[in-house]
Structure 1
């Protein structure tokens, strides 16, 4: 029997139960009997959420005396784990699972097999439906899918009979009216203020079971057609420049809209007896569960795009059309959403949209790339928003500091306004330094360059007056593309970047993908299930294995640089032979272009990125081969401290001004003294004034940083004497003070050096 037929058989009987005049408890008692009989299972139980505890409400096969007696906390036992994670469990031997917990009053000791699915209401688990069997066996996929579909119908039964508290189901704390500060992950930096606007009103599903399957199927077909028309219109009318990485994002998004597999899964759910709305929601729930199982952040982000489309389709088919975008923003607004797809963000009036707060979101999410192009600050990973924020609440968003003030007090609002005004004043002051060359008081020229990764970023060169691009991350084009970018596309991007930069240098870092920046079109046995992806098969390691990938990029860079100077930097080098191998690929392509009588670059400068600590031990062998060396402080720091920088628990466990880091950086600088190699830093460390002060004291004369940091670092450079700070740093590293940060801060203060 197919999953659809099995589910339909159960649903037919459930329909009769729900239409009967039996009280709610009686209905649940009949439901567990029907499911147990249909799946030939010896046990079927329903747990419901009451007062934040999962209470056994009905059972077939366990001791009836345990009903309304057995209670489990969220996360407790197998049932609590299912509800807490909103995930499905299917176990041949329940006792082998680490979360197994035995409750003697249920009499379940003789049962081995266990399968359970969450009962979801308004995106939260309000209960668990589970089955058990004496013999150890995993339940078939057809049985699990039947359980999942049945759980949807149960959610309607539960909500219609007030078996769970409405506020509890929504996960709301008692209504909050006072000021609250929430924290999150800065995704696109900036400040913004406005009233709270929820992106998406909830779509309520009034009917779960279909009266006529063919009617429901036609409703879905019509909704798909209308949705695709909308997506085509949105993607064809994006207002900002053509050819940017956001264009690749929208193409990928459009690809999902036309995905036949997605439509097929919705049709299968309709076959089981669900209405069009319930079928879409059923598939969407499955998508959410899959998202929780995906460790790959890129694939998880693409699943978010698919969920965004499902929300759009659900609104169309239900007739409950409109988001806050279609209704229009009446005043300056901070948009609130669980997550957003890139197309939905583009529907908003940019003049009114002052910021976005997401419950989810990541730095690599498609919506973040588009938001950056739009210039909209975004705060992500802000949990429990619906329990805290109401429509039209005033919000002060600080996406620089990772906070948002909800219903702020007058003093908080005044402080924010003052900061906002000072930020504008500082930006105006920094703008005056745009054309000023950064010389120290002692007359040494410091190169202040900026990092980039998108075509749109290059416009910042003129805005902030950077000396060039010290790091162009070529992998962004790979990360937002559904397929491997063709050489011609790469060539156009690199040529556009060099054209925009003019006579200022652009250092192109060869592609750094793989590991924690995996792309689905480059899957291999080497990249699956890596325990430490940041230290795994990525960057140059992957590029050397995938020879065609590096050859195509080398050709594209060489052709784009025809008649100009090309700067190429290789990432994640551990030993000199890796640099030699990568350079050989470029030289081979150069020879090919020469034979083809193509115009060649005027000069090529090869460099390396020092991120792997092992490379510091062989710098004497590598430096003679280099034109320049850039220290990648972000990865280097996590490798030195064995502390994953993406893990919030470890984020504060290391300090860039610790003696360990500074001594290591000094070793690198000393290794280049007297050598014909240009030394620089790429990373956040160089963009912070106090850290930049220390780096210049160690001998670094080139800093490549975020565009917003260029002005502050230029201002700092003009205030310092290198001899003074060099002497101070040497003394402190010989005999480190208890707190290097405080010591350096006081040193600057004593000399009237302004540090933000």
Structure 2
């Protein structure tokens, strides 16, 4: 049995199809220039053209049910092939270093790859895989190799096993025959992971010792819920997982049916279910899972992958691409939450001994007002272009009233600048703050009076309340979402928002885990924001209960002594309503 990270739920039972990944060096036949400079450049230009034609063909092959997501992915490939900087740099190395086209391509692609691999947050490193994929395609065409043909003769019911996987790898197979995907590396936000989710293929990433343990043709069970891979299971285990698979699929059919309906409790209380996104391409999953809107648009991605600070116009175009597709539904845009575990190379001397307690989020924005103002200008303009009042600004990591007031003053300054420049923008955009630290929760009665809405960031609130780093194996057991102290803080914020008449949402892992849905409703929350994939399951839980039946029971949890005591009571409450 091997363990990994589950990134697309479900169960797959079938034979392994091991896919060999070749490195750039293995594909490149290095050596002196085979011909003169101009011929090498012509060879490279021809390879770019052929690569572009192949990617266009992949777009045409992509299954319809993968939707706009795969279109966006392969358009990103086309943008890289058309990148003038890439072409210019390869030609420069051919001329100045007397390299053949292959060697020049490998050098430049490796430089691009190294840049993205060096970014500190793993979730923002996936572009390196796409770059290598495009680089190999150009390299093969430079060598006049036969293009990779679609794999149509692999038989039915395979589980793809590989070190890494790219969208073009997946599309080259008949996706109808792919039961599961397992990779040794990868990230949850990689293009291949996104594609697996959009196609409903159970998938695992970061499976250690995968390629040395699994042989081609081995019989496998992929548990996309727990992150488990079972090799050569017994008949008894196969039968158990077949039963689990049938139950999972039956439950999903129920969730899908429920998802067509309004997210409302049995006593008529509407619970708004929004989605969290990190990139514009995430919108497809938002629409597919019928979210009410976007409750948290994390905007850090652009700052982590760019070689320079993005311009106002670039940010405007990115944000508008999201707002336009939501067609009037709410979009809450959070200003950059860099620092902590997300350190951008654009900020000098940003590495700190205690980054989670240091220069991050609003603290960084207030110190670098030039960057903050650029982002605010873009958001205000997007709100004006929408014209529907559906765009909101959310400021992260507020810990005191001074930070809030300073942020509001800067927003006012930006508004005045836009007026003086004659730029169209929204004058009445709602401004909210994230409640992520205990000080903000304690001050929430005062904070609520000075903002238009609030959002509880449960992941950080739990971490800071309990002083626990959940990524530290020695203390991870102390990370207790059901600790009564955490529940009391959440309840206090609910009351503060209610007394001030301000909307309140909760985002974070608590929101997307349906075993906590009754708890959150009972605490008084009426708006949750989560990974879009979890919306159908949470909606089914919402539609199973009456607020009148659960509120009194949940409020008793606040007086309990331990997380274990709360957990036992919550399990009983969930069982009463058939929620597992």
TM-score, normalisation: structure 2: 0.80
Q: Structure 2 residue aligned with 1:684, among 509, 521, 525?
A: 509
Q: Structure 2 residue aligned with 1:733, among 552, 558, 564?
A: 558
Instruction: Indicate yes or no: 2:398 matched with 1:573.
Output: yes
Partner Cα separation in structure 1 for residue 368 and residue 202 of structure 2: 37
User: Contact 2:120/2:341 (CA < 8 Å) preserved in 1?
Assistant: no
* Equivalent residue number for residue 364 of structure 2: 542
CA positional deviation for 1:610? 1.2
* Equivalent residue number for residue 574 of structure 2: 748
The alignment yields a C-alpha RMSD, in angstroms, of 4.5
User: Contact 2:41/2:91 (CA < 8 Å) preserved in 1?
Assistant: no
Partner Cα separation in structure 2 for residue 430 and residue 207 of structure 1: 46
Partner Cα separation in structure 1 for residue 149 and residue 220 of structure 2: 17
CA positional deviation for 1:234? 4.7
Deviation digits for residues 645-669 of structure 1 (CA, Å, limit 9, x no counterpart): 4456655442312223223323333
* Equivalent residue number for residue 170 of structure 1: none
* Equivalent residue number for residue 337 of structure 1: 162
Instruction: Indicate yes or no: 2:464 matched with 1:635.
Output: no
* Equivalent residue number for residue 655 of structure 1: 480
Partner Cα separation in structure 2 for residue 292 and residue 591 of structure 1: 41
* Equivalent residue number for residue 414 of structure 1: 239
In the TM superposition, 1:338-487 aligns within 5 A as 338-341=163-166, 344=169, 347-365=172-190, 367-369=192-194, 376-460=201-285, 463-479=288-304, 481=306, 483-487=308-312
User: Contact 1:515/1:533 (CA < 8 Å) preserved in 2?
Assistant: yes
Partner Cα separation in structure 2 for residue 535 and residue 498 of structure 1: 33
CA positional deviation for 1:387? 1.8
Partner Cα separation in structure 2 for residue 207 and residue 438 of structure 1: 53
Q: Which runs of 5+ in 1 are unaligned?
A: 1-180
Alpha carbons of structure 1 residues 495 and 294: separation in structure 2 relative to 1, 3 Å:
closer
CA positional deviation for 1:434? 3.1
User: Contact 1:193/1:395 (CA < 8 Å) preserved in 2?
Assistant: yes
Partner Cα separation in structure 2 for residue 183 and residue 280 of structure 1: 36
Partner Cα separation in structure 2 for residue 386 and residue 224 of structure 1: 34
CA positional deviation for 1:534? 4.4
Partner Cα separation in structure 2 for residue 642 and residue 583 of structure 1: 30
CA positional deviation for 1:483? 5.0
Deviation digits for residues 356-377 of structure 1 (CA, Å, limit 9, x no counterpart): 3221122354544565566655
Instruction: Indicate yes or no: 2:489 matched with 1:669.
Output: no
User: Contact 1:450/1:470 (CA < 8 Å) preserved in 2?
Assistant: yes
Partner Cα separation in structure 2 for residue 458 and residue 209 of structure 1: 41
* Equivalent residue number for residue 97 of structure 1: none
In the TM superposition, 1:558-637 aligns within 5 A as 558-562=380-384, 563-565=387-389, 566-594=391-419, 600-601=425-426, 603-637=428-462
CA positional deviation for 1:714? 2.6
Alpha carbons of structure 1 residues 452 and 294: separation in structure 2 relative to 1, 3 Å:
closer
* Equivalent residue number for residue 89 of structure 2: 260
Alpha carbons of structure 1 residues 269 and 643: separation in structure 2 relative to 1, 3 Å:
farther
Structure with the greater relative contact order (CA < 8 A, sep ≥ 6): 1 or 2?
2
Match of 1:604, SS state, is: coil
Q: Structure 1 residue aligned with 2:5, among 182, 185, 191?
A: 185
Partner Cα separation in structure 2 for residue 481 and residue 285 of structure 1: 17
Partner Cα separation in structure 1 for residue 42 and residue 265 of structure 2: 67
CA positional deviation for 1:184? 0.6
Alpha carbons of structure 1 residues 655 and 555: separation in structure 2 relative to 1, 3 Å:
same
Partner Cα separation in structure 2 for residue 249 and residue 650 of structure 1: 42
In the TM superposition, 1:74-153 aligns within 5 A as none
User: Contact 1:245/1:480 (CA < 8 Å) preserved in 2?
Assistant: no
Partner Cα separation in structure 1 for residue 577 and residue 309 of structure 2: 49
User: Contact 2:24/2:106 (CA < 8 Å) preserved in 1?
Assistant: no
CA positional deviation for 1:693? 1.7
Q: Which runs of 5+ in 2 are unaligned?
A: 60-66
Deviation digits for residues 221-273 of structure 1 (CA, Å, limit 9, x no counterpart): 798566544543355556364984774576458759648389959x98989xx
Partner Cα separation in structure 1 for residue 269 and residue 278 of structure 2: 29
Deviation digits for residues 582-633 of structure 1 (CA, Å, limit 9, x no counterpart): 3333333434445566665484221111123332233233211112111111
Alpha carbons of structure 1 residues 297 and 433: separation in structure 2 relative to 1, 3 Å:
closer
The number of residues matched between the two structures is 566
* Equivalent residue number for residue 523 of structure 1: 347
Instruction: Indicate yes or no: 2:383 matched with 1:554.
Output: no
User: Contact 1:574/1:612 (CA < 8 Å) preserved in 2?
Assistant: yes
Q: Structure 1 residue aligned with 2:525, among 700, 721, 728?
A: 700
Deviation digits for residues 74-115 of structure 1 (CA, Å, limit 9, x no counterpart): xxxxxxxxxxxxxxxxxxxxxxxxxxxxxxxxxxxxxxxxxx
User: Contact 1:297/1:364 (CA < 8 Å) preserved in 2?
Assistant: no
* Equivalent residue number for residue 64 of structure 2: none
Instruction: Indicate yes or no: 2:331 matched with 1:511.
Output: no
Q: Which has the higher helix share?
A: 2
Match of 1:674, SS state, is: helix
* Equivalent residue number for residue 52 of structure 2: 232
User: Contact 1:487/1:555 (CA < 8 Å) preserved in 2?
Assistant: yes
CA positional deviation for 1:300? 5.1
> Which of structures 1 and 2 has the bigger CA Rg?
1
CA positional deviation for 1:745? 0.6
Alpha carbons of structure 1 residues 439 and 339: separation in structure 2 relative to 1, 3 Å:
closer
Partner Cα separation in structure 2 for residue 209 and residue 241 of structure 1: 37
Deviation digits for residues 728-756 of structure 1 (CA, Å, limit 9, x no counterpart): 3343332325442122112333xx31112
Alpha carbons of structure 1 residues 580 and 424: separation in structure 2 relative to 1, 3 Å:
same
* Equivalent residue number for residue 62 of structure 2: none
CA positional deviation for 1:542? 2.9
User: Contact 1:217/1:270 (CA < 8 Å) preserved in 2?
Assistant: no
CA positional deviation for 1:445? 3.0
Partner Cα separation in structure 1 for residue 35 and residue 20 of structure 2: 24
